[in-house]
Amino acid sequence: DTAVSQTPKYLVTQMGNDKSIKCEQNLGHDTMYWYKQDSKKFLKIMFSYNNKELIINETVPNRFSPKSPDKAHLNLHINSLELGDSAVYFCASSQKVRAEAFFGQGTRLTVV
């Protein structure tokens, strides 16, 4: 059983489109995160939710909107995609805010 799963694994789309990336964790964790990894492998936090409540919202364009329908899911919706959005997006979860984080396999987004 995959602990943190993201779909899709690869996403190729045109500029201007709207797309969503889904994330689900079956670990019973109450905190979930989205990280972005750029072409140089640098990882940076985007959002964090604890019990469906947004607790971290870094300087991210408001075209990016996270949605947490329940504790096990944290989806990322991106409007009006731009070339610079191309990256690998990682979902992660932890039992509590200060516990070890488990990462998904990543979603490689390519905007053409």
Partner 1 sequence: GNSVTQMEGPVTLSEEAFLTINCTYTATGYPSLFWYVQYPGEGLQLLLKATKADDKGSNKGFEATYRKETTSFHLEKGSVQVSDSAVYFCALRASQGNLIFGKGTKLSVKP
Dist CA 50 CA 19 (whole Å): 24
Closer CB to partner 1, 42 or 62, in the complex:
42
Q: Where are the beta strands (DSSP E) in 1-112?
A: 4-7, 10-13, 19-25, 31-37, 43-50, 53-57, 64-70, 73-78, 87-94, 102-103, 107-111
Find the length of the chain. 112
Closer CB to partner 1, 14 or 39, in the complex:
39
What is the closest distance, in whole angstroms, from the C-beta atom of residue 15 to partner 1 in the complex? 26
- Binding residues vs partner 1 (CB under 8 A): 4, 31, 33, 35, 40-45, 48, 50, 55-56, 90, 92, 94, 96-98, 100-106
What is the closest distance, in whole angstroms, from the C-beta atom of residue 107 to partner 1 in the complex? 10
